[in-house]
Structure 1
Amino acid sequence: MGDADAADLEILLTNDDGIDSTGIRALHDALSAFADVTVVAPANDQSACGRSISHEVDVYDHELGFALDGTPADCVVAGLSALTPETVPDLVVAGCNEGANLGEYVLGRSGTISAAVEAAFFDVPAIATSMYVPVDGTPLSEVDLEPEDYAEAIRVTSYLAETALEAGVFDHAAYLNVNVPLADGEPAPVEITRPSKRYEMDAEREGDRIHMHDRVWESMDPETLPDPEGTDRRAVVEGRISVSPLTAPHSTNHHELLEELADGYHESRGIETDG
């Protein structure tokens, strides 16, 4: 996949905000300027669905491509298996998501990132692009964004889509998690980052209900941001574009202590092994 020519570039474009969202339209129009783009996206908002997969989904023709009554993972599986041209796409792009996807804890929760992870299992490189929107307590669903707000996301995603394959970036990364600030005049610089390790989920009970709280977003003040240099959260809050090169599937480490525990289990249960 690393030698794809931009003039012949085949891109599968999806998202988790739904096929009628402003972000996917903005990316579609930009990527179509230099690539053959096939859109396969959820018919409705599927935010925070992770890598949920369906056994069967309905598909509809849409002016941008295909809409599925399913998840972003469904869209990638269907797009790479049943809805794209005879040649497998060179690249999957997911986004642009309205709202950032920052930190290790969102990697399995975000539908946008999960689409990129799904592509990795097909051995297709992917870019997941999300936009950090400071909301000051306003629900993100009530924030009305215009196409021009996605200018920063369009610039960097287009650049990476055109250049990263030929540069060999995906010889070392399965996908790129890209987070951008809102467009604000001059283009923002890019920082290669690692996902923040911050995790501040908690819950409280109120009668027969449990209220879940994600308190990470309460500490996004640039003056007091607790995340160290080099993390995705710090880069975006300080106005830089965060690009985290990530791998999937996740690898495991051989663990000698677990081997000893396994041997102890065999011995305690009278199990004979060849080892």
Structure 2
Amino acid sequence: MNKNKPLILVTNDDGITAPGIRALIEVMKEIGDVVVVAPDSPQSGMGHAITISDTLFCDKITLKEDDNHKEYSCSGTPADCVKIGTQEILNRKPDLCVSGINHGSNSSINVIYSGTMSAAVEAGVEGIPAIGFSLLDYSLNADFSPCKKYVKSITQEVLKNGLPKGVVLNVNFPKLEASKIKGTKICKQADAHWEEEFDKRTNPQGRDYYWLTGNFINNDTSEKTDEWALANGFVSIVPVQFDLTAHHFLKDLNSWDLNE
């Protein structure tokens, strides 16, 4: 590894063979020294889960001789990948952690469930500047090429300017051709939620089982949100903090008679 180049840890939640992480690796190799630690199978919707009741395996992958980066396949979650990457594989703290590019949006409330963003948050907890990238296209044949220009510029700006303590970036791309993307927009997370239902079925043995379904409900009409940006052809960038304290409620909560 070249000490004059930034050291970049790359991960995701779709698995190490997913097209999105392949696109992300290509861009990162133009910027710095790259080490990939990613799940050996899809881990979408895992949130910030970590492995505590099972063993973890992390195997180095043999690459072609002309590949100037390193890759490791991990049996754990995205958060596990960041933990084991920083504590067991890398010989120094990375200058940046990037996660993605996810197949599907992680805008609005989806950030809570996202393994992609939880990997970025885990890096942030460890004091590493981090970015999660997602594309609003769930297809395995999704075209990630329009994202690359913005991935590179956003990454370079983070390396140049840094991020505040406790903050990571959540970046989402609209499903558009490069020529139709209008640029980037700094946003807030939209006030939205899922109205979920369970599709109940019965297997041949007579046991009931369920498929989770639902509809995404956006209650936020503001033009400052990530949902508005994506719907109107912009790349949304939301600064996300992982301090979950409701600071605005502390004063009111202190006024309660809790010790009587």
Give the TM interval when normalised to the shorter protein: 0.7 to 0.9
> Aligned equivalents of 2:24 and 2:200: distance in 1?
42
Pairwise CA distance, 1:14? 0.1
Identify the match of residue 95 of structure 1 among 97, 100, 112. Answer: 100
> Aligned equivalents of 1:252 and 1:154: distance in 2?
36
Pairwise CA distance, 1:132? 0.7
Counterpart residue type for residue 176 of structure 1: L
Identify the match of residue 182 of structure 1 among 165, 171, 175. Answer: 175
Question: Which residues of 2 match residues 104-253 of structure 1 at below 5 A?
Answer: 105-133=109-137, 140=138, 143-145=139-141, 149-168=143-162, 170-171=163-164, 174-186=167-179, 188-204=182-198, 206=200, 208-216=208-216, 227-253=221-247
Between stretches 118-127 and 207-216, larger displacement belongs to 207-216
Pairwise CA distance, 1:250? 2.5
1:3 maps to what in 2? none
> Aligned equivalents of 2:19 and 2:182: distance in 1?
21
2:44 maps to what in 1? 47
Larger-gyration structure (1/2): 1
Contact 1:201/1:215 (8 A) holds in 2: yes
Contact 2:129/2:158 (8 A) holds in 1: no
Pairwise CA distance, 1:241? 0.4
What does the per-residue CA deviation read over 1:161-206, in whole Å, with 9 as the maximum and x for residues that have no partner?
11223224x0276111000123514254100011111113222574
Q: TM-score, normalised by structure 2?
A: 0.84
1:34 lines up with 2:31 in the alignment: yes
Pairwise CA distance, 1:61? 1.2
Structure 2 stretches lacking a partner, 5+ long: 64-69, 202-207
Contact 2:191/2:220 (8 A) holds in 1: no
Identity %: 29
Structure 1 stretches lacking a partner, 5+ long: 1-5, 134-139, 220-224, 268-275
Counterpart residue type for residue 259 of structure 1: N
> Aligned equivalents of 1:233 and 1:179: distance in 2?
9
2:18 maps to what in 1? 21
Root-mean-square deviation (CA, aligned residues, Å) is 2.5
> Aligned equivalents of 2:237 and 2:159: distance in 1?
15
Higher helix share: 1
Q: How many residues align?
A: 242
Change (3 A) 1:173 1:183: farther
Counterpart residue type for residue 73 of structure 1: A
> Aligned equivalents of 2:134 and 2:102: distance in 1?
4
Local SS of the residue matching 1:246 = strand
Counterpart residue type for residue 239 of structure 1: G
Pairwise CA distance, 1:38? 0.5
> Aligned equivalents of 1:215 and 1:227: distance in 2?
17
Contact 1:16/1:97 (8 A) holds in 2: yes
Local SS of the residue matching 1:199 = strand
Q: TM-score, normalised by structure 1?
A: 0.80
Change (3 A) 1:10 1:183: farther
> Aligned equivalents of 1:117 and 1:255: distance in 2?
24
> Aligned equivalents of 1:162 and 1:216: distance in 2?
33
Higher strand share: 2
Contact 1:92/1:119 (8 A) holds in 2: yes
Between stretches 152-161 and 191-200, larger displacement belongs to 152-161
> Aligned equivalents of 2:125 and 2:29: distance in 1?
25
